[in-house]
Amino acid sequence: MPDDDDDDGSGRDSPNDADLKTLDLGLTLKSDLKNMVKEKTGLYNRLRSIQYDNDFVARICQQVYPHFAVAPNLRCGAWYVKPAWPRVVQHPVYFKSTDGHYNNWDFNLRRANLHLLAAIQDHHGIVIVDSTRKGKRFPDALSKTVPIWCCVLNRAVAKIFGIQTFDVDLHTSPRTVSRSEHSQIEERLDIWAERILQSAFTLPRLSKPLRPIWVSPDTEVPPQLSLATDFHPVVCLSASEMVEDGVERRHGYCYVQGSGDDHESWSQGLSPSTYWRHLDQIVSASHDAIDAVVANIVEQDSPTSGNASWS
């Protein structure tokens, strides 16, 4: 007869020491893995990754396209554009990714971004900077929302000013937008153009139509765009390299793709504007010191530390 102490009354064997040790080991490994992932995408690695991406963005904006205006797309893009650079648009720019999500495409009048048109005319083009996390080279804001914006404004301007020679076609990258999706977006363009024509907005006469161009760290040779092109280039610049699983071991740190995205979840109160004001202090901080350095900066800069603006 079994000992009463060994029977829990359920008809099942009670877990023995080996079972408990195995369970404990599994929980420990799961906890360790979670901590490793958190460490890889933590504050130090995020800021080092942003610094790395900044070098690429600076080269494109300052050397490849030195005449074009520059605009960070809020909020992620604000981490990659230094406000003190020349030709930076000083008013917020917001092309929302959800306006480019599949079957949710939209031209939203609340995000018309018409103030960009003057900068584009004055500088013969613009570079819009953004980034995205793992799985994509370009955020939907750059691959679809901006192309929709360009095409809708081209159609509206061509209609209101009677310009017959304007390119009013939708331009998307076949690497990121399928032919089927492209066609579905096309079907809605005239509706959106009429929407802005019926609004209270006043559209300026553009000297050339707008056309999106895509550049990322994977672009071997960025397109050479002279001031003599027959369109105003709208360069959609994705700041981050596309890496497997969104994280890649580098010398001295882990590179995190799209580090500037969703900064409330990792920045410990640091905002893009605060980051740029204290850049030297932040980039010189060690892995062990970075949390304390950022905490001190945020405390000193507390009146603006919660501001998502970059300027």
Dump pLDDT digits (tens) for 37-83.
Answer: 556 779 999 999 999 999 999 999 999 999 999 999 998 999 999 99
Q: What is the pLDDT of residue 27?
A: 52
For residue 91 the two structure tokens come to 């008013």
Arithmetic mean of pLDDT, 180-197: 98
Q: What is the pLDDT of residue 135?
A: 82
Residue that the structure tokens 């071991």 belong to: 249
Q: If you average pLDDT over every residue of the chain, what do you get?
A: 89
Question: 140: closest CA among 170, 76, 97?
Answer: 97
Arithmetic mean of pLDDT, 285-305: 87
- Here the contacts of 216-224 (C-beta below 8 Å, separation 24 or greater) are 216/137, 216/138, 216/241, 216/242, 217/53, 217/56, 217/241, 217/242, 218/137, 218/242, 222/60, 222/64, 222/65
pLDDT band at 24 (very low <50, low <70, confident <90, very high): low
pLDDT band at 306 (very low <50, low <70, confident <90, very high): very low
Judge whether residue 163 has pLDDT over 50.
yes
Burial of 70 from C-beta contacts in 10 A (0-12 / 13-18 / 19+): buried
Tell me the whole-structure pTM to 2 decimals. Answer: 0.86
What gap in Å lies between CA 38 and CA 255, rounded to an integer? 13
> What contacts 259, CB < 8 A, 6 or more positions away?
45, 46, 47, 49, 50, 53, 79, 131, 240
Arithmetic mean of pLDDT, 270-274: 95
135: number of Cβ within 10 Å? 11
Residue 77 near residue 239, CB atoms below 8 Å: yes
Question: 130: closest CA among 212, 244, 34, 230?
Answer: 212
Q: What is the pLDDT of residue 2?
A: 47
Strand order in the sheet with 232-238: 69-72, 126-130, 232-238, 210-215
Judge whether residue 276 has pLDDT over 80.
yes
Lowest mean pLDDT among 36-45, 167-176, 177-186, 251-260: 36-45
